[in-house]
Structure 1
Amino acid sequence: MIRTISFMLFFFIGLSIMSGQEITMLKGTVRDQTTQEVIPYATVAVYNNKGELVDGISTNDEGQFLLETDKTFTYFEVSFIGYKTASVQFSEVGDPANISISLKSVASTLDEIVIEADRTTTQLKIDRKIIDIGADIQQSGTTALEAFDQIIDIQTDLGTGNISLRGSDNVKLLINGKPSSLDAIELLEQIPSSSIKTVEIITSPSAKYQADGLSGVINVILKRSVNKGFNLNLNSAVGTKRYSYGIDGNYNLSFMNLRFNASQSGREMDSKETINRSFINGDTQGIFTPHDFNGKIKRGIIGLDFFVDEHNEFSLGLDYTDDYHSFYNNSQYFDVTDRDDFIYTRNSAHSHFTSVFNANYRRGFNKEGHFLEIDYNLNNNKNDYPSTDFEENVFLFDQIIEEDNTIHAISLDYALPVSEKIIIETGASWNKSDTKNQQFFRPNNTVPTLDTFNYEEELLGIYALTKFKIQKLDWQAGLRYEYFSSKSRNTLNLSTTNLHFSNLFPSIHITYAFSEDNTLGLGYSKRISRPNLHHINPFQLGNPFFRFDGNPELKPESSDNIELNYQNNKRKLNWSVATFYRYRKDVILWVNAIEDNNVQVISFQNIGINHSFGIETTAKYKFTSFWNAMLTGNYYYTKTDQNNLVTWDELYSSNLQVKNTFKITKKVSTDITYRHTPKRQNAFNYIEPRHRVDWAVRAKFLNNKLTANLRVIDVLDNNLMKRNTRTPEFNQRTVWKFQSQTLGFLFSLKYTLFKSEDRARNRKEREYRHNHSSN
C-alpha cells in the first residue's frame, strides 16, 4: 500500500515539473474606489508590448488574485462590468506581491446585463469539490435528484432514488449546511434545480463538519437573491407526465433585502418490475409489479436580510413545503409453489409537511476574514404513510405510520486571521432530534393495534482548525470532538436503548501549488456512522411477504479516509485526477434473511472490515470557440475481510460519461451526453451494464431575459435495470423498466421591475450556512 501511494505521489509530481523559465508573480486585491468593498470575479488580463493578450486570471470570492506566468509582458488591465477598466504598467508596480487596484464605477446607468455560464463549472478546493450548477442545459427544469444524475461524481439511481459517493451510500446530505430528517430521495425531489446555486462534494471533510457520513458530505447550496432593486424570475416547465411553475425574486434596499419564492410541481410516473425467486427449499415465486406514482409539491420561502452597519448582518428565513404523493401497486404473483396465481393490491400514500426556520447573525471585524457567526435552525417534519392492502380484492389490513420529527441545530463559528498566512477557526454546534413514530394496524376481522416508537438524539461538537501557508504549500489541520447520545422506547415489545459515544476526529489537508493552474493535494479525515433512527426503527412499511426489522444492538461504524488529488488547468485543457483509500471497521450493511412461508426479512448488521480504493478523473477540452467536450470516469473497488455473511467479498463499480456542448449561435446551444455504467458488484447482488444518451437544446430571447429549454433523457429508452441477487437462502432476478425516458420543456423569464442606484450597499452575496470554510 505504501509503495502504491508513493508511486502515485511521485507520478503526479513528475507530471507537474515546470520548465526552467523565469516565473513572474502578480498578487493583489481589487476594490470599489468609492465603497472600498472587494470585487469578486473581476478580470485581470496581461498583455505584451504589442498589445497581445498573453495570460490572465479572475479574482476570487474575496476580490484577490494570484497570477504566476512565464510569459513576457509589459502591462495588465483589470476590468469588471459597470466599472472603468484600469490599465497598469508593470514597470510602475512597486511590490508585485502586494498590488491594490481600485476600480471607478461608470457614471451612466447601464441596462441590465444577465451573465450565465453555459455549462456546469467545477472548482477543486483544499477539502472539497464545488460544482456550480449554473445554466447547464441538462440540469434545467429538473429536480435536485435529477440534477445529481448529471453529476458523475454522485452515483444516482433514478429508479430507487439512492445516492452514493465513491461506491458507498453512507453519505451525509445537507441543505445550506443543515441536516434534515427526510430521506434523501424525499428531500431532493422537493427542490427544483433552478433553486440550486452550487453542490459541494466533500469526500475528505475537515474537522468543521459533523463526523457522520463515511464516504463524505453532499452540501446543496440554494440561491439567495440579493440583486439591487426589485427583481422577479418566472419559471415554468412541462414534460412527460410532469409540470412545474414558480416565481422568485427579491426587493433590495440599502439596509434590507427581502427574498421570496413560491412554486408548485406535479409529476406522475409508472414503472414495471418483474421478480423471479427460487428458494433453497425448492420453492419458487414470481411477481410482476407495475408501480403507479402521482405526486404534487407546493413550496414557499420568505427571508429577510438586515445590513445593520458595515460590521453587523442579521438574517431570518422561513421555508414551508407540502409534499404529497400516492402509490398504486397491483402486483401479479405467479409460479408460486403450492398456490394458484393471485393479485396483491396496495394503495398507499406519503404526506410530508416540512417547515424550516433559520436565524443567523454575523459580526464582522475590521480585519478581512475576521468574524463571529451564530446560527439557529429549526426543522419540523410531520409525515404520514397510510396504506391499504387487498388480495384478490379481499381486504387484508389497514396500516398507518405517523412520524413527527423536530431538529434543533445551533452553531457558533469564529475565524481569526492571525496574519496573511495564518488563520485560526473554532466553533461549536449542538443538534437535538426528537421523533415520535406511531403504527396503527387494523387486520381483517381482528382487533386493531396502536404501537409507539419514541426516539431522541443529541450531538454536541467542538472543533478547532488552523490554516497556514508556507510558500507554495497550503496546510489545514483540525481536531473535532463529538459527544453523541440517543435513547428509544418501543411499546410493541417494551424494548429500550440508551447509547452514548464520545470520539475525537482529526483532519489534515495539504496542497502544493506548482503554479496557479497546477496543484497537488493530500487529505486525511476520520468519520463515523452511529446507530440511528433509520437502523433501529421497527415501524416501516412492509407486507405479508416482506418485513423490516430494526436492530438496536448495532455498533458504530468508523472509517479512516486518505485522498490524493491533482489538477491541471490550461486555456483549452483542464484535467484532474483523484485517488483514495478508505478503511472501514464494523461495517453496517443491509442484510436479507428468509423466515417461514418464504417471508423476506431485512435488517442492518455489523459485518466486519472493508478496504476500499478508487480513482476519479475528469478532462475538459475546448476544441473550438463553439465546441466544449468533457470526459469523466471513475472506478471503485472494495474488499471485505473475515466475513461469512456476504455472498461476494470483492465489490466494484464504475461510470463513464462523455459530454459535448455546442454553441450553434450566440442565442442557441445544445448538449449531447453519453453515459455508460458497467457491471456493479454489491455484497448480495450485481447490476448488469447499462447505458443511455441524453440530449438538450436551449435558446435565449429578449436580451437573454427569456430562456427556453428542450431536454430528452434516455433518448433510446433502453436504460433497464437488471439485478441478480444471491443469498444462502434464495436467488432472485429483477428486471425493472422504470420511466427512464423523459421529455421536458422549460421557460424562464428574468425581469427587473425597479433598479436601485444606491451603491453604498453593493454587497457581494454571502451564504448563511454553518460548516462552510469560505465564510
Structure 2
Amino acid sequence: MKIKLILICLFGTLLSMQAQTSVKSVPLESPGSVTGKVVDKTTNEPLPYVNVIVKEANKFITGGITSDKGIFYIKNLDLKNYTVEIQFMGYKTVTRSITLSADNKNADLKTLAIEEDAIQLKGVDIISEKSTIEQKIDRKIINVGKDLISTGATAGEIMNNIPSVSVDPQTNSISLRGNSNVRVLIDGKPSNIDASQLLQQIPSSSIKQIELITNPSAKYNPEGMSGIINIVLNKNSKIGFNGSINNGVTFGKTPKLNSSFDLNYRSGKFNFYGNYGLNTGKQANNGFIKSEELNRENTQIFTFNNNNTSHLAKVGFDFNINDNNTLSFYTNQSFFKGNGKASTDVDYTNNSTNTDLLQLFENKNDDRSQTYNFDYKIKFKKEGSSLELEMNYNKNDGPENAIYTNYNRDTGAINSTFTNDVETIGENTIINLDYVNPLTETIKLELGLEHRNETTDNSLLRDSNPNSNFSYDRKISSAYATLGKQWKKWSFQAGARLEQYNIEAQFKEVSKADGTFKDDLLNVYPSTFLTYNPSDKNSFNLSFSRRVDRPSIGQVNPIREWSTATLDSQGNPDLIPQFTNSYEINYTRKTKIGSITSGIFYRRIEDEITRVIFTNPENPSKQILSFDNFNDNEAYGIEVSGNLDFRKWWSANVSVDAYQKKVKGTIESSPGIYEFVEVNANTFNARINNTFKATKDLRFQLFGMYRGRDLSLQFNREAMWKMDVGTSYNVLKGSGTISARFSDIFNSMHFAFEGDRPYKSNGQFNWESQSVYLGFNYRFGSGKNKAIQRKQRDKNETQGGGGLL
C-alpha cells in the first residue's frame, strides 16, 4: 500500500509538471478556469501542495498544486465539461464535476474538505524497516532504518555499520576511507564538541540519514582530507502533533541507558520541532602494552572505568511567511558529565635499574555546548532562483579536574601526587550568504560568501597554580562560485572557492618564554564534476577537488591531553596545513535486485598530518604522543557497495573496500635517533548487514564486519572482526517496535597492535564489545503527511551552501 501511495503521489506530480509544460506551449490562453480551497476535514487546516487533476472523459488535460493557504487556481481551460480530482497522499481522493460555458467561464469549487484514508495511512511510517543507500552527484546517502537503529544505542555505535566509515573502539575517533582527517557535521553545522564525544551523545533513533561526502564541491568548506560526514537528525513534515519515543538498555559488564524522544507540531505557516536524547552508564576498558626499550623493558597494564551522562536537546521552528519567504531558527544544547578512574601498572623486567610503578588517576568533566542557528530564505519569481542568509553561533565550555597519584609498586610508598585543572572555552561564529540563479533551463549559477571566526582559550592549573595557557584565534573569509550545465545525458559542474585564512596563537608557560605563531594564507580550491547517464539503469560520475586540513586546536595545543606513568599526549604548535588533491570515479548500476555502486579514488597529500610517538626530551623515562607533518604521500583505493533485495524475505546492505597508501616521513627510529622511513600499506574492509522478513511484523538481522590489518610508520594495527544478530517486532498496529541485538557473538572484537619504532612493542585493548541491547520505539500522533518542500539541508539531494549543508 505504501508503494501504491508513493506512485500515486509521484504520478500526480508528474502530471502537474507535464501540465505546466503544456500550458507554456499554447500561444493563446483559453477563457475557462477553476478555483477552490482544500482543507483537512478533521482539523479544518488548509492543505498545501495537494495535487489537483483536471480530466475530460477520463483523459488528463491539465493540473496544478495548492498554495501554502490550500488554494488552487487552474486557468487556460476550454469551455467544456470536466472532472476535477483532488489527490493527496494519506487522504481519500475527492472528485467534482464542472461545466464551463460562455455564461460560466470560472468554476469556483469553494472549500473542499478531504478526509484521512485510514487504510492508506496504515502504510505510512516515520522510520522505514530497512536502511537504504543512495548515490547522488557528490555524496552517498544512508537513510537510517530500524535495522541500523537496532545495531546500537548511539551514533558512534551504528557508524561502524556504514560503508567506508570506521570508529576507533578506544578513542571513538572517526575515520573515512581509512583517514581520520574528516569533518563531522550535525544537520550541516559544525560543533565545538569533539566528534569522538559528540557521536556518543546522539541517540541512534534520532538520526534520519547519514551523508558521506567524499569529494565535496567548491560550495563546501575545503577542510577534511577524506571528506565530510553529515548526520541529519529527524524533523518530520506531518500536519498536527506527532512524534516518537525511544528507550533502550545495553547490557555489557554494566547496563547503559539510552533514551530519546522527537516531537513535531505543524499548523498553518508554523512548524515546531524538538528532540532530546539521554545517554548514561558505566564503561569498562582494559589493556596492556609490552615495551622492549633498551634497559627499560616493561609490561604496562591499564584499566579504565568511566561513568558518563550526556544530554543533547534540539528545539526549533520554521515560519513560512508566504510562498516565497521562509524563516527558521533552532538551538542545540549539549551537557556532558563524566567521572573516570584509571590505573596504570608498570612492571619492569630489570628491577635493578628501574622501579615498578603504579599510577592512579581520577578525573571529572563537566562540558556544555550551545548552538544557535538562524536562517532566512527568499525564493524569487524565477523558478529555482533563491537567496539564503544563515548565521550560526556555537560556544563550548569544557572544564576538567584530574588527580594523579604515583606509587612505588614494590614498597607501596607514594612518590608524588599532583592535580591538573584544565579549562577550555571555545566560540565559533559562521555567517554565510548563498545565491542560486538558473540562467537557463540547463545552466545554473551558484554564488556564496562566508566568514568564520573561531577562538579557543585553554589553560592549565598544576596543583591549583597557573602553569600554562594557550590561546588560538582563527579567521576565515571565503567566496565561491559554481556553474552547472546539463545537456541530454550529460551534466557538468565546475567551481572554485577562494579563502583568506588568518591564524594567531600564543602559548604561555611558567618559567619559559612565550611562544607565538601566526599564519596568513590566500588559497584557491577548485572542483569539477562530470556525470553521464546513458540510461535509467546506469550512471557514471567523475570528480576532482582540492582540499585542506588545517591543524585543529587539539592537534596544536601543547597542553597535555592525557597522561599515564610512561606517556603524555599533547599537540604540536608547529604543525602546518596539509593539502590534498582528490580524484574519484563512480559507477552506479540499477538491477532487478537493487542498486550497486562501485568507485575508485586517488589522493595526493602534501605535508600529511599524522600521529607520532617520540622520547620526551625533558624526561627520557617518558614518551610523548603527538602530531607531526610527514612528507608528500599518496593513497588510492576501490569501493563497492550495494543495497540489494535477494528475495522478498531477504535484503542486504553490502560494502567492500580496499586501499593502498604510501606513507613516508622522518620519525624516531630508536631512542634519540631519527631517520626517513617509507611504508606501503594495504587495507581491506568488508561489511554486510542482512535483514530477513519472517512475517509482516517480525524481522531478523545478521551483521558481520571485517577490518583488515593496517600499517603506519611506527605501528601496525591487527585485523578486527565481529558478528551481530538482532531482531525487531512491530506491535500496537505498527506504532511500536521492540528491538533486540546480541553484539560480537564470538567476543572477537579488540584492538591489537605491534611496532618496532622507536623500540619494539605490542599491546591489546579490550572494551565491552560483547553486549545485549533491548529497545522499544513508539510512534504517535494524528498528523497526516504533507508533501511540503524541505529546506535544502533536510533533503536527500542537499547541496549545501557556503560550506554548510
- TM-score between the two structures when normalised by the length of structure 1: 0.84
User: Deviation at 1:725?
Assistant: 2.1
Indicate the residue corresponding to 1:361 in structure 2: 376
From 169, 180, 204, give the equivalent of 2:215: 204
> Based on CA coordinates, which of the two structures has the bigger radius of gyration?
2
Indicate the residue corresponding to 2:789 in structure 1: 764
Alignment of 1:55-204 (within 5 A): 81-82=89-90, 107-111=114-118, 112-113=121-122, 114-115=124-125, 116-137=127-148, 139=150, 142-204=153-215
AA of the residue aligned to 1:616: E
Partner SS state of residue 81, structure 1: coil
AA of the residue aligned to 2:517: T
User: Deviation at 1:553?
Assistant: 2.6
Contact 1:374 1:412 in 2 (8 A): yes
Matched, 1:390 2:405: yes
Alignment of 1:550-565 (within 5 A): 550-565=571-586
Q: Aligned partners of 1:630, 1:79: CA distance in 2, in Å?
A: 34
Q: Aligned partners of 1:599, 1:551: CA distance in 2, in Å?
A: 17
For each residue in 1:244-271, what CA deviation from the matched residue of structure 2 results, as whole angstroms up to 9, or x when unmatched?
A: 2233212211021121223322121111
Matched, 1:607 2:614: no
Shift in CA distance, 431/154, structure 1 to aligned 2, threshold 3 Å: same
From 498, 501, 507, give the equivalent of 2:521: 501
RMSD: 2.9
Question: 639-648 or 367-376, which moves further after superposition?
Answer: 639-648
Indicate the residue corresponding to 2:505 in structure 1: 488
From 325, 328, 332, give the equivalent of 2:345: 332
Indicate the residue corresponding to 1:288 in structure 2: 301
Shift in CA distance, 84/710, structure 1 to aligned 2, threshold 3 Å: same
Shift in CA distance, 543/621, structure 1 to aligned 2, threshold 3 Å: closer
AA of the residue aligned to 1:421: T
For each residue in 1:717-746, what CA deviation from the matched residue of structure 2 results, as whole angstroms up to 9, or x when unmatched?
A: 12122111221x322111112111121111
Unmatched runs of 5 consecutive residues or more in structure 1: 1-25, 43-76, 88-103
Partner SS state of residue 158, structure 2: helix
User: Deviation at 1:419?
Assistant: 2.1
Indicate the residue corresponding to 1:738 in structure 2: 767
User: Deviation at 1:398?
Assistant: 0.2
Q: Aligned partners of 1:515, 1:590: CA distance in 2, in Å?
A: 46
AA of the residue aligned to 2:542: L
Shift in CA distance, 110/141, structure 1 to aligned 2, threshold 3 Å: farther
Q: Aligned partners of 2:484, 2:150: CA distance in 1, in Å?
A: 35
For each residue in 1:620-656, what CA deviation from the matched residue of structure 2 results, as whole angstroms up to 9, or x when unmatched?
A: 4322211113431101111135756565511222211
Matched, 1:623 2:646: yes
Matched, 1:533 2:548: no
Unmatched runs of 5 consecutive residues or more in structure 2: 1-11, 20-35, 39-46, 53-84, 96-110, 408-412, 668-674
Contact 2:366 2:400 in 1 (8 A): yes
AA of the residue aligned to 2:206: S
Q: Aligned partners of 1:283, 1:474: CA distance in 2, in Å?
A: 63
User: Deviation at 1:594?
Assistant: 1.3
Q: Aligned partners of 2:364, 2:690: CA distance in 1, in Å?
A: 40
Q: Aligned partners of 2:606, 2:94: CA distance in 1, in Å?
A: 58
AA of the residue aligned to 2:505: S
User: Deviation at 1:498?
Assistant: 1.3
Question: 340-349 or 404-413, which moves further after superposition?
Answer: 340-349
Q: Aligned partners of 2:300, 2:380: CA distance in 1, in Å?
A: 65
Provide the identity percentage: 25
Indicate the residue corresponding to 2:733 in structure 1: 703
For each residue in 1:666-685, what CA deviation from the matched residue of structure 2 results, as whole angstroms up to 9, or x when unmatched?
A: 00101101112221222211
User: Deviation at 1:152?
Assistant: 2.7
Question: 187-196 or 500-509, which moves further after superposition?
Answer: 187-196
Contact 1:635 1:652 in 2 (8 A): yes
* Equivalent residue pairs, number: 690
User: Deviation at 1:141?
Assistant: 5.2
Partner SS state of residue 398, structure 2: strand
Matched, 1:272 2:286: yes
User: Deviation at 1:124?
Assistant: 0.8
For each residue in 1:573-603, what CA deviation from the matched residue of structure 2 results, as whole angstroms up to 9, or x when unmatched?
A: 4211110010011112221111344311123
From 570, 578, 588, give the equivalent of 1:567: 588
Contact 2:364 2:400 in 1 (8 A): yes
Contact 2:206 2:275 in 1 (8 A): no
Q: Aligned partners of 1:523, 1:27: CA distance in 2, in Å?
A: 32
Q: Aligned partners of 2:172, 2:356: CA distance in 1, in Å?
A: 31
Alignment of 1:292-371 (within 5 A): 292-335=305-348, 337=350, 338-371=353-386
Q: Aligned partners of 1:79, 1:651: CA distance in 2, in Å?
A: 58
Indicate the residue corresponding to 1:238 in structure 2: 249
- TM-score between the two structures when normalised by the length of structure 2: 0.81
User: Deviation at 1:306?
Assistant: 1.0
Partner SS state of residue 617, structure 1: strand
Alignment of 1:653-672 (within 5 A): 653-672=683-702
AA of the residue aligned to 1:763: I
AA of the residue aligned to 1:258: F
Q: Aligned partners of 1:428, 1:139: CA distance in 2, in Å?
A: 41
Q: Aligned partners of 1:657, 1:691: CA distance in 2, in Å?
A: 10
Shift in CA distance, 243/475, structure 1 to aligned 2, threshold 3 Å: same
From 615, 619, 643, give the equivalent of 1:594: 615
Indicate the residue corresponding to 2:76 in structure 1: none
AA of the residue aligned to 2:114: A
Matched, 1:374 2:373: no
Shift in CA distance, 106/522, structure 1 to aligned 2, threshold 3 Å: farther
Indicate the residue corresponding to 2:744 in structure 1: 714
Contact 2:150 2:775 in 1 (8 A): no
User: Deviation at 1:774?
Assistant: 6.7
Shift in CA distance, 322/646, structure 1 to aligned 2, threshold 3 Å: farther
User: Deviation at 1:342?
Assistant: 3.4
Shift in CA distance, 257/620, structure 1 to aligned 2, threshold 3 Å: closer
Contact 1:137 1:709 in 2 (8 A): no
Partner SS state of residue 136, structure 1: helix
Q: Aligned partners of 1:499, 1:200: CA distance in 2, in Å?
A: 32
Q: Aligned partners of 2:181, 2:245: CA distance in 1, in Å?
A: 37
Q: Aligned partners of 2:231, 2:549: CA distance in 1, in Å?
A: 21
Contact 2:292 2:760 in 1 (8 A): yes
Q: Aligned partners of 2:113, 2:779: CA distance in 1, in Å?
A: 24
Matched, 1:633 2:656: yes
From 467, 470, 480, give the equivalent of 1:453: 470
AA of the residue aligned to 2:769: S
Shift in CA distance, 80/151, structure 1 to aligned 2, threshold 3 Å: farther
Q: Aligned partners of 1:27, 1:467: CA distance in 2, in Å?
A: 25
AA of the residue aligned to 1:184: A
Contact 1:83 1:105 in 2 (8 A): no
Shift in CA distance, 263/528, structure 1 to aligned 2, threshold 3 Å: closer
AA of the residue aligned to 2:742: V
User: Deviation at 1:127?
Assistant: 1.1
Q: Aligned partners of 1:502, 1:677: CA distance in 2, in Å?
A: 39
Contact 2:201 2:278 in 1 (8 A): no
From 228, 235, 251, give the equivalent of 2:239: 228
Q: Aligned partners of 1:144, 1:319: CA distance in 2, in Å?
A: 16
